[in-house]
Amino acid sequence: MLDGFEEIAAGLVATAKSFHARGWLLGTSGNLSAVGQREPLLLAMSPSGVDKGELRADQLLSIDQNARIVGQPGGKPSDESLLHIRIVRDRGAGAVLHTHSIWNTILSDVYARDGGVRIEGYEMLKGLQGVSTHEHAEWLPIVENSQDMATLAESVGETLNKHKAAHGFLLRRHGLYSWGENLAQAKRHIEILEFLLETIGRTLHIRANAI
């Protein structure tokens, strides 16, 4: 087992429970990872099919750069492990988090034709790394969903390359991905983006009803 794995696993469990309590990881959905070692890559990854509100640190899996389990006899890492690995590689992320909230699911479809969601003028944008003013315009790209994880990882890679300033992306009718240099920053980014997506969604709803 990696040095510090238990501490990393405990951090991921605390994050999972916190997100689950807010309705962002219901029905065993979503997944979480954090880098344990860069070279060769080892990632602490949430298991597939486990209730994130009941997740235990000993259920976290250590996987390599090909999403194969390392040093543990059983368990199945999340189906979306390849996406996490791609984000870690392309963005140099220390942690990657993926949520299935109602608002991120709705907006990933509402804005699909635009290819992304433009978020501008909100104070909460300053919670994103490197952003110092509410005047920042964040482009949250939307990637078409697929069950073929190798293909989806390629689409994600192309999107990350095209939108180098993005702090996250949406998978259409599926969910939100964000990341950070470490778990604390990744958690902050998810909280900020979920807040902003819900704000945009509720604003659309209120305006539609006001007409």
C-alpha to C-alpha distance for 123 and 103, rounded to whole angstroms: 19
Tell me whether residue 168 or residue 175 sits nearer to Zn ion (CB atom): 175
* Closest CB 54 distance from Zn ion, rounded Å: 18
Binding site for Zn ion (CB under 5 A): 175
Of all residues in the shown chain, the one whose CB is closest to Zn ion is: 175
Instruction: Quote the least distance from Cβ 40 to Zn ion, whole Å.
Output: 26
Whichever of 145 and 199 has its CB closer to Zn ion, that residue is 145
Q: For 42, how many CA atoms within 13 A lie in the half-sphere containing its CB?
A: 17
CB of 175 or CB of 201, closer to Zn ion = 175
Judged on CB neighbours under 10 Å (0-12, 13-18, 19+), 183 is buried
Closer by beta carbon to Zn ion, 11 or else 175: 175
Rounded CA separation 101/190 (Å): 11
- The packing angle between helices 5-21 and 183-210, to 10°, is 10
Q: How far apart are CA 94 and CA 4, in angstroms?
A: 14
Min dist CB 97 to Zn ion, Å, is 11
Please name the amino acid found at residue 48. S
Residue 65, C-beta contacts closer than 8 angstroms, at least 6 positions apart: 40, 41, 85, 89
Which CB sits closer to Zn ion, 98 or 125? 98
CB 178 within 8 A of CB 168: yes
